[in-house]
Amino acid sequence: MKKITLLFSFCLLSISAAIAQSISSPDSDLQMEFSISEDGSPVYKLDFKGKAVIKPSKLGFDLKEEEDLLNGFSIKDTKTSSFDETWEPVWGEYKEVRNQYNELEVRLLQEATSRELVLRFRLYDDGLGLRYEFPQQKSLGHFVIKEEKTQFAMAGDHTAFWIPGDYDTQEYDYTESRLSEIRGKMESSITANLSQTSFSNTGVQTSLMMKSDDGLYINLHEAALVDYSTMHLNLDDENMIFESWLTPGAKGDKGYLIAPTHSPWRVVMVSDDARDIPASQIIYNLNEPSKIDDTSWIKPMKYIGVWWEMITGKSSWHYTDEFQAVRLGETNFEEAEPNDTHAANTEHVKEYIDFAAEHGFDGVLVEGWNIGWEDWFGHSKDYVFDFVTPYPDFDVKEIQDYAASKDVEMIMHHETSSSVRNYERHLDTAYQFMKKYGYNAVKSGYVGDILPRAENHYSQWMIDHYLYAIKKAADYEIMINAHEAVRPTGLARTWPNLIANESARGTEYQAFGGSKPNHVTVLPFTRLLGGPMDYTPGIFEMDISKLNPDNNSHVNSTIANQLALYVTMYSPLQMAADLPENYMRFPDAFQFIKDVAIDWDNSIYLEAEPGDYLTIARKEKGGNNWFVGNVNGNDNRMSSIKFDFLDKDKVYIATVYSDAPDAHYKRNPQAYEIKKYRVDHKSKINQMSVPGGGYAISIMEASKDEAKGLQKL
Amino acid sequence: MKKITLLFSFCLLSISAAIAQSISSPDSDLQMEFSISEDGSPVYKLDFKGKAVIKPSKLGFDLKEEEDLLNGFSIKDTKTSSFDETWEPVWGEYKEVRNQYNELEVRLLQEATSRELVLRFRLYDDGLGLRYEFPQQKSLGHFVIKEEKTQFAMAGDHTAFWIPGDYDTQEYDYTESRLSEIRGKMESSITANLSQTSFSNTGVQTSLMMKSDDGLYINLHEAALVDYSTMHLNLDDENMIFESWLTPGAKGDKGYLIAPTHSPWRVVMVSDDARDIPASQIIYNLNEPSKIDDTSWIKPMKYIGVWWEMITGKSSWHYTDEFQAVRLGETNFEEAEPNDTHAANTEHVKEYIDFAAEHGFDGVLVEGWNIGWEDWFGHSKDYVFDFVTPYPDFDVKEIQDYAASKDVEMIMHHETSSSVRNYERHLDTAYQFMKKYGYNAVKSGYVGDILPRAENHYSQWMIDHYLYAIKKAADYEIMINAHEAVRPTGLARTWPNLIANESARGTEYQAFGGSKPNHVTVLPFTRLLGGPMDYTPGIFEMDISKLNPDNNSHVNSTIANQLALYVTMYSPLQMAADLPENYMRFPDAFQFIKDVAIDWDNSIYLEAEPGDYLTIARKEKGGNNWFVGNVNGNDNRMSSIKFDFLDKDKVYIATVYSDAPDAHYKRNPQAYEIKKYRVDHKSKINQMSVPGGGYAISIMEASKDEAKGLQKL
């Protein structure tokens, strides 16, 4: 018996060696090779211009209560094909996106179990996507994943920009270190969060940005995360091999699958030009086209909100200090004594509506409008909000009428407190309430530990929930901006009503002690690859104690940096997060926020180095104006850009909002300069940005008359 | 400091000793005394006619992450009051129920924590109800129960009728043993179930029926289980003290409470007459009045169903053998090859409708009508049913029209496979579907382990779900018969659309190997105290291999016993569970099932001994006919009853369906006799019942002419 087995293995080996397959990217820079190892394990490797990106790495699964899908495979069939299409996103950085790849499909047979597994590889110019497919078959129906064992064997001890692997939060500052240093820096990288579950001293999250010593920029992420657990990466730091580490559910299992099905795409982005990483659309390309037929109701929005005053502690979400605990439907708010700090009151909201109307904002978000905030957090409370009952001082109808009269849209807020059953129970009535009162967009939140208890923010259970909420919202023609939800994986292509997520450390942390000054030079290389972020930029007052004497936090950013974020942090949903009174102190700088577009026909990544700097020029949707943003890292830096993206036959007025020479994110964050120039496609600029600084430029098409008298750049 | 504490404790002691309180039942047979022990623990004891029922027993809670609520209490205030009202149930054993008790309210203060706790005792003639109340207060808002520490100190090593404590099932045969023997008999008492989680060698479920050596019948249960975890009882079998043992949730916590709130009632029923226990209405009395204003749509039903043929394995719920797994919305059933055993097909269902119409049944239940049964169980499958999509051979509209034309109601079936999120997501559309097609009642099922995973059938999370489904059904005017749900605790008084539950070992087990022949002589002393059971009686063919040659199970019951169950197992929902063809073999016996009422104006418990026998006479709602049922235990027994409950001025025809002398549940279960007599209020009968046997009597008002010629009893 043993002899036969050996002989059989030998046959397998020779077969697989014979039919190992390789494909190239359309531009031939990337080479992917697939083979079967001696023990029948699937193995792939990836090179870029002859340099190893992924060394031979195994693929497969540990399964629960049945044979693993790790080895004993032979190749039953392979197919190669090519694909090339151009599609138009509903909103985005580009008017059109090209989706071009060469594909290899490998059909594997595990003879001992008669199970078939398909591996699909798509090789783009900007990276590799691979996924597992489980075809319909007699030998595989329901199965439970103990662990996915996808390896990404690195070719060296790269420099990485990483956040700690965690089942419940991504709200960490990035740590820049060698892969070999992750273990030593893990503990200090895990900062406090309201819900967090780390799992390994070498566990990190995707998207993971890396630089090799030989000049490659490599990024690991996933695309199209549907009906599956979120993937983390755990590093074998002796061999520099990352392996997939899925998020477990309540019982520790990592996925409940039913054939026919498939995994999300595992994505390796690679280039020798850092700009190609944030510019890449591979994550979207690996998602399905839009499932919403009529997308006319999906519209990018620039908005303000009754929010920063609560985040800073100047105001409160809750209405009264009277109750130790609230029982919805029983606790009587009408007779409760209001505190003096409840911001979501009709009068105050109308001030925001006035401000929005005056300065051309599309919408006003109001948090803390609905009853339940008195004990909303930290109690594992099930029935925490009903999403339809306002506090006594918030008149939904009156506010809605007032906003409508000023052509301003109100934006709904649904904090779930992670009580997800409760949210699902109320979802229909909550969405119906929104449509009744003219709300077309909702910011949802998942703060705190998940209910059902023992589930995690990124487990398959919750992945299913987030998509459930998105689909149901689409039925109601509602746009979603989900905070504390899973990091995006390009699903907004399929469900373009998912107009933003938080899912990273946003501006709020500038009021919770501050973020690293170069944080925003990393996010476009990591978090933003999967979809837009509601980063909530636009803070002008960096000394938070000016808003709330009890809060000594400092916003580690200059005003010019804040302006640049409207360009560098792509999102169809952009907030001007600071208080109206702070904007009125700097009306000239505020002008950029008013001017900047929120949807684009084109984006050109001019300069990029993760952690150091990023400069992007974008052309507004359906117009001729351009906007440039530069964000800068920890050191002074001279940015040099050409305006050769401009139309050759047009003249423009460029308004440059830059750091003053003595500006500094910490010492002098409000020092900025504004200069106007006449520019055309031959113009160039050398502009200094200070630590935590940057610059923003509006480039408005002008007649020669209008531009007359301005200095030419 | 220590001295002061000691002094203080002494004060407490003297205060509490001074104000210990006692109350009596309205008939003075029961005496309850409350006191505070030396360490400030609340203590109660209960006597019946001077005999100890509950010896001094402590009350309190272990809390998580804060001081326990166990001791250090002083009495702040006490109040006594009396209550007496009569209410009319929507359906029930009696036209009117008297709710009469004396109450003691004790307000306790735990000085060290400034927390207040109220204990409320209600003493009825038939038992004691006590509950914990947590008033609104500054020092107590949200709290988490580690364990409820309610003691029930027994006065002796009683005989008990118990089933193993379990977080997921009650579907066990009862074991009769001394309390001291529970530990030794536990392992053999835990028989296999599709979802089960036992927790202790001395853990048992409520309601727990006991007999003391000095002639007391004692029962421990709970009433009004809402927003709380189900209580089990764990026995300290050295001291014979039961202590509450709550069902944990996914994280092991036993309850998440928010003051103001209260626990369910803990109930001690006691009498020296066994008949008083099953006749008691104390559980209903401790529940809130109906919250449904218009109850006109709630109607008792007698029904048949396409069910027993699947339970026995003669037919199948699923439609095809083609699929290893089903993906709802993707798997194509239209093109799948049907198996030959799918019972829920239009033609076959019409045969049931014909049978129902011919024999006067109100409804027809059909299981296996909706897609998903191919892989419905054992896979922790989330999206397992959609509750609206029929198999290709089940024409909802055609069946509904046909049933309506014959004045028969179809009864819906919602097996959830315990995938509870999925059920809640579909609940509205499922109920809407029901109303659209004229279904007014649903049998729901919770087979298998709960999703959300790690939750239990009886945890607070699920208690909340069951009530959610009931309330939502009430909104749609739908009646619920929930199987595998938590055992009832009288909630049907508050939500009378909960017309039945399973929540015990039902008739199905007679096709799964058989139940103990005296099982039905125990259930009315245990399971039925909290509410009606859809026991699905009426099996005439006891040899299951006659239906399915592969199933050798035997129904441990005689036909006469099966008839008696329609009287002894009170339920407003009664099934005739056997196949129409089996009824047609015994049309004379079947006549009793056709005749028997399902709602009552009065019930008289004539003979009772748990595990041995039970004889009940019931008067039909709004009529003059009576029905008597006797079920018998393991030994031959002569039942002797008087008909003195009949109207003095009326004459009746009694039809007695009894065991033939040589009948036996195992050896000769189908041997019965039917005799007709003329009876009046002076009549008596001595009737022999065989092991697992019994008798049923219909007593129909008759004119003297009609009764002429009949033998007088």
Residue B464 is nearest to which of A136, A142, A382, comparing CB atoms? A382
CA angle A201, A205, A206 (to 5 degrees): 150
Q: Which residues contact residue A615 at a Cβ distance below 8 angstroms, ignoring those fewer than 6 apart? A: A568, A605, A606, A607, A608, A628, A629, A630, A639, A641
Residue A141 is nearest to which of B260, B375, B428, comparing CB atoms? B375
Over its C-alpha atoms, chain A yields an Rg (Å, rounded) of: 26
How far off is chain A from B380, nearest CA to CA, in Å?
8
* Binary contact (A140, B324; C-beta < 8 A): yes
* Chain B environment of A382 (Cβ under 8 Å): 256, 461, 464
* Binary contact (B324, A259; C-beta < 8 A): yes
pTM of the shown model: 0.95
pLDDT tens sequence across A152-186: 999 999 999 999 999 999 999 999 999 999 999 99
State the Cα–Cα distance between residues B350 and B639, nearest whole angstrom.
42
* Chain B environment of A261 (Cβ under 8 Å): 327
Interchain contact A114–B (C-beta under 8 A): no
Q: Which residues contact residue A132 at a Cβ distance below 8 angstroms, ignoring those fewer than 6 apart? A: A59, A61, A117, A118, A119, A262, A263
Please give the distance of CA B350 from its chain centroid, rounded to a whole number.
32
What does the block give as tokens for B276? 């008083």
> Given its phi and psi angles, is residue B133 left (phi above 0), alpha (psi -120 to 50 degrees) or beta?
beta
Residue B264 gets which letter from DSSP? P
What's the pLDDT at A647?
Answer: 97
* Binary contact (B141, A468; C-beta < 8 A): no
Place B617 in a pLDDT band, splitting at 50, 70 and 90: very high
DSSP three-state, residue B251 = coil
Interchain contact B358–A (C-beta under 8 A): no
Interchain contact B436–A (C-beta under 8 A): no
Residue by residue, DSSP assigns B26-72 as TTS-EEEEEEE-TTS-EEEEEEETTEEEEEEEE--EEEESS--BSS-
pLDDT tens sequence across B636-693: 999 999 999 999 999 999 999 999 999 999 999 999 999 999 999 999 999 999 999 9
Q: Which residues contact residue A56 at a Cβ distance below 8 angstroms, ignoring those fewer than 6 apart? A: A35, A43, A44, A45, A153
* Binary contact (A256, B381; C-beta < 8 A): yes
- The H or E element spanning position B174 is none
Residue by residue, DSSP assigns B593-605 as HHH--SSEEEEEE
pLDDT at B19 over 70: no
What letter represents residue A267's amino acid?
A: V
How far off is chain B from A690, nearest CA to CA, in Å?
49
State yes or no: is B508 an active-site residue: yes
Can you tell me the mean pLDDT for A579-604? Answer: 98
* Chain A environment of B325 (Cβ under 8 Å): 141-142, 258-259
Q: Which residues of B368-386 are buried (b: 16+ CB within 10 A; e: fewer)?
A: bbbbbbbbbbebbbbbbbb
Spatial contact of A381 and A329, defined as CB atoms under 8 Å apart: no
State the Cα–Cα distance between residues A551 and B423, nearest whole angstrom.
46
* Chain B environment of A327 (Cβ under 8 Å): 258, 260-261
Residue B259 is nearest to which of A250, A325, A452, comparing CB atoms? A325
Chain B, window 362-391: residues with a beta carbon less than 8 angstroms from a chain A beta carbon: 375, 379-382
The number of C-alpha atoms within 13 Å of A277 and in the hemisphere containing its C-beta is 32
Q: Where are the alpha helices (DSSP H) in B197-269?
A: none
Q: Which of A607, A649, A610 is nearest to A629 (CA)?
A: A607
> Domain map of chain B by residue range?
6-285
CA angle B275, B276, B278 (to 5 degrees): 75
Neighbours of A433 (CB within 10 A): 18
Residue B224 gets which letter from DSSP? -
pLDDT at A18 over 50: no
Interchain contact A403–B (C-beta under 8 A): no
Spatial contact of B316 and B248, defined as CB atoms under 8 Å apart: no
Q: Which of B453, B459, B461, B472 to mutate to test the interface with A (most CBs of A within 10 A)?
A: B453
Q: Which of B142, B331, B384 to mutate to test the interface with A (most CBs of A within 10 A)?
A: B142
* Chain A environment of B428 (Cβ under 8 Å): 428
pLDDT at A9 over 70: no
Residue linked to tokens 């703060």: A447
Spatial contact of B206 and B218, defined as CB atoms under 8 Å apart: no
Interchain contact B549–A (C-beta under 8 A): no
Place B14 in a pLDDT band, splitting at 50, 70 and 90: very low
* Binary contact (A256, B464; C-beta < 8 A): no
pLDDT at B7 over 80: no
CA angle B109, B220, B173 (to 5 degrees): 145
Q: In angstroms, how far apart are the furthest CA atoms of chain A?
A: 92
Q: Between A and B, how many CB-CB pairs are < 8 A?
A: 106
Interchain contact A471–B (C-beta under 8 A): no
* Chain B environment of A454 (Cβ under 8 Å): 250-251, 452-454
Among A7-21, A96-110, B225-239, B381-395, the least confident range = A7-21
Interchain contact A197–B (C-beta under 8 A): no
What does the block give as tokens for B459? 């945890």
Q: What mean pLDDT is reported for chain A?
A: 96
* Binary contact (B327, A453; C-beta < 8 A): no
pLDDT tens sequence across B338-348: 999 999 999 99
The number of C-alpha atoms within 13 Å of A389 and in the hemisphere containing its C-beta is 16
Q: Which residues contact residue B652 at a Cβ distance below 8 angstroms, ignoring those fewer than 6 apart? A: B625, B626, B646, B678, B679, B680, B699, B700, B701, B702, B707
* Binary contact (A453, B251; C-beta < 8 A): yes
Describe the strand order of the beta sheet including B672-679 as a list of residue ranges: B600-609, B613-620, B626-632, B694-702, B651-659, B672-679
* Chain B environment of A330 (Cβ under 8 Å): 260
* Binary contact (B453, A325; C-beta < 8 A): no
Place A10 in a pLDDT band, splitting at 50, 70 and 90: very low
* Binary contact (B380, A256; C-beta < 8 A): yes
State the Cα–Cα distance between residues B166 and B169, nearest whole angstrom.
6
What does the block give as tokens for A261? 């099905």
pLDDT tens sequence across B486-540: 999 999 999 999 999 999 999 999 999 999 999 999 999 999 999 999 999 999 9
What's the pLDDT at B20?
Answer: 76
Residue B357 gets which letter from DSSP? H
* Binary contact (B141, A258; C-beta < 8 A): no
Locate the DSSP E strands across A136-194. 142-148, 151-154, 159-162, 175-178
What does the block give as tokens for B663? 């009948």
Over its C-alpha atoms, chain B yields an Rg (Å, rounded) of: 26
What's the pLDDT at B167?
Answer: 98
Give the catalytic positions of A in this structure: 508
User: What backbone torsions phi and psi does residue A489 show, to the nearest 5 degrees?
Assistant: -130, 35
What does the block give as tokens for A109? 């047979």
Spatial contact of A269 and B335, defined as CB atoms under 8 Å apart: no
Q: Which of A130, A429, A141 is nearest to A261 (CA)?
A: A141
* Binary contact (A261, B421; C-beta < 8 A): no
How far off is chain B from A266, nearest CA to CA, in Å?
24
Using DSSP bridges, classify how beta strands A626-632 and A613-620 pair: parallel, antiparallel or unpaired: antiparallel
pLDDT at A3 over 70: no
DSSP three-state, residue A685 = strand
- Closest chain B residue to A253 measured between Cα atoms? B453
Interchain contact A144–B (C-beta under 8 A): yes
Interchain contact B21–A (C-beta under 8 A): no
- The H or E element spanning position B577 is none
Interchain contact B67–A (C-beta under 8 A): no
Q: Output the CATH code of domain B6-285.
A: 2.70.98.10
* Binary contact (B455, A452; C-beta < 8 A): yes
What does the block give as tokens for B252? 């092991």
The number of C-alpha atoms within 13 Å of A28 and in the hemisphere containing its C-beta is 0
What's the pLDDT at A20?
Answer: 76
* Binary contact (A327, B258; C-beta < 8 A): yes
- Closest chain B residue to A421 measured between Cα atoms? B421
Residue B316 gets which letter from DSSP? B
Interchain contact A455–B (C-beta under 8 A): yes
Q: Which of A497, A559, A565, A496 is nearest to A536 (CA)?
A: A565
* Binary contact (B324, A250; C-beta < 8 A): no
Spatial contact of B232 and B247, defined as CB atoms under 8 Å apart: yes
State the Cα–Cα distance between residues B404 and A663, nearest whole angstrom.
82
Neighbours of A469 (CB within 10 A): 25
Give the ipTM of the model, two decimals please: 0.94
* Binary contact (B141, A454; C-beta < 8 A): no
Residue positions counted in chain A: 713
- Closest chain B residue to A258 measured between Cα atoms? B325
Q: What mean pLDDT is reported for chain B?
A: 96
Using DSSP bridges, classify how beta strands B301-306 and B363-366 pair: parallel, antiparallel or unpaired: parallel
Calculate the CA dihedral of residues B88, B92, B93, B99 and round it to 10 degrees: -40
pLDDT at B76 over 70: yes
* Chain A environment of B141 (Cβ under 8 Å): 323-325, 375, 379
Can you tell me the mean pLDDT for A77-100? Answer: 98
Chain B, window 309-328: residues with a beta carbon less than 8 angstroms from a chain A beta carbon: 323-327
pLDDT at A624 over 90: yes
What's the pLDDT at A19?
Answer: 56
How far off is chain B from A194, nearest CA to CA, in Å?
18
